[in-house]
Amino acid sequence: MRTAEFWIGRLGLERHPEGGWYRETYRSEGEYGFDSNSLFGSPRSYATSIFYLLERGDRSRLHRINSDEQWYFHAGSPLDVHCFPATGVPSSFTLGDEPDAGQVLHSWVPAGNWFGASLSEQSDAPGTYTLVSCVVAPGFDFRDFSFADCKELTAKFPAHARIIEMLS
């Protein structure tokens, strides 16, 4: 049986600022020539991809980027991804390999949404983890990355205060 430690070592993962472990696996050589008047402010790769692993107790802290982000499930326990849009209703999806339990192998977060992730509550046993890949287009750049303000997000979505606090 594979463990988080196995994947961290085998894939050469490092700590991610938002929580968990990651390694960039792809960055396109080509780029979009965004200028200083655009949302991005400077050129961005066409696309980037990472492996991303969360262990029990880890979380992907609420953050947003300026691009759509695709999520793909690979191994381990189910992962809940929570999205908070600028306008509209919050949503979530669960990545996993049990479609009869409402889990999906792939989903995405639209650009500009606040989002974060954690192992599903039923995944509380010691040694649990989830391994996913994330693809960002236009490509990820830390200049486009910001963490959510817990108080502001809770004021906007008070019915989701428990999730916002857990992911902050």
- CB 121, CB 62: distance < 8 Å: no
Report the pLDDT value the prediction gives residue 123, as an integer from 0 to 100. 63
Q: Which two tokens stand for residue 153?
A: 């997000």
> pTM for this structure?
0.93
pLDDT in tens, 89-138: 999 999 999 999 999 999 999 999 999 999 987 666 778 999 999 999 99
pLDDT in tens, 8-53: 999 999 999 999 999 999 999 999 999 888 889 899 999 999 999 9
Backbone angles phi, psi at 31, to 5 degrees: -145, 155
Architecture (CATH level 2) of domain 4-166: Sandwich (2.60)
pLDDT-based confidence at residue 1 (cuts at 50, 70, 90):
confident
Domain ranges of the chain: 4-166
Report the pLDDT value the prediction gives residue 111, as an integer from 0 to 100. 96
Judged on CB neighbours under 10 Å (0-12, 13-18, 19+), 67 is buried
Report the pLDDT value the prediction gives residue 161, as an integer from 0 to 100. 96
Terminal C-alpha separation, the chain: 32
Q: What is the DSSP letter of 104?
A: B
